[in-house]
């Protein structure tokens, strides 16, 4: 279990690192004398925002899918061990899945804000 969490964390860090490397360097460029940001092309900024939004949604969706899979797995195990309280376990599982899905929707909203507002 701990090894799989470490592997997932490393994959997410790798995806984020690759995303940052593909962001155009003009976005981070600054004039050495005045420390004022260099004017960038609107297309470069749009590309950088798109990459940032994609990274946000991909990372959170992957983490949410893993969390949902674990929740469903554990609730199925618990229901098979104690069939008499399966309905209560199912109710708690559904409540947990709603909270995980809410976090994923919040990440999608943040990605939309990144693209259209920032």
Q: Give pLDDT tens digits for 69-95.
A: 999 999 999 999 999 999 999 999 999
Cα 11 from chain centroid?
12
Of 49, 26, 52, the C-alpha closest to 39 is: 26
Neighbour count for residue 52 (Cβ, 10 Å): 20
Query: What tokens appear for 89 in the block?
Result: 């376990």
Q: Is the pLDDT of residue 14 over 80?
A: no
What's the first-to-final CA gap in the chain, in angstroms? 38
Tell me the backbone φ, ψ of residue 37, rounded to 5 degrees: -60, 140
Residue of 45 and 8 predicted with greater confidence:
45
| Domain ranges across the chain | 2-116
Determine which of 35-44, 50-59, 93-102 has the lowest per-residue pLDDT on average: 35-44
- Cα(7)–Cα(26) distance, rounded to whole angstroms? 33
pTM, two decimal places: 0.61
Q: Any idea which architecture 2-116 has in CATH?
A: Up-down Bundle (1.20)
How much is the average pLDDT of 27-41?
A: 52
- Cα(40)–Cα(70) distance, rounded to whole angstroms? 44
């Amino acid at each position: 279990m701990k090894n799989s969490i470490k592997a997932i964390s490393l994959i997410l860090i790798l995806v984020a690192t690759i995303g940052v490397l593909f962001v155009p360097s003009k976005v981070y460029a600054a004039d050495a004398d005045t420390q004022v940001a260099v004017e960038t092309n609107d297309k470069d900024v749009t590309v950088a925002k798109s990459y940032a939004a994609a990274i946000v949604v991909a990372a959170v969706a992957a983490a949410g899918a893993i969390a949902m899979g674990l929740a469903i797995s554990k609730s199925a195990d618990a229901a098979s061990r104690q069939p008499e309280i399966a309905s209560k376990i199912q109710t708690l599982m559904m409540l947990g899945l709603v909270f995980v899905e809410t976090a994923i929707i919040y990440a999608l909203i943040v990605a939309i804000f990144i693209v259209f507002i920032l």
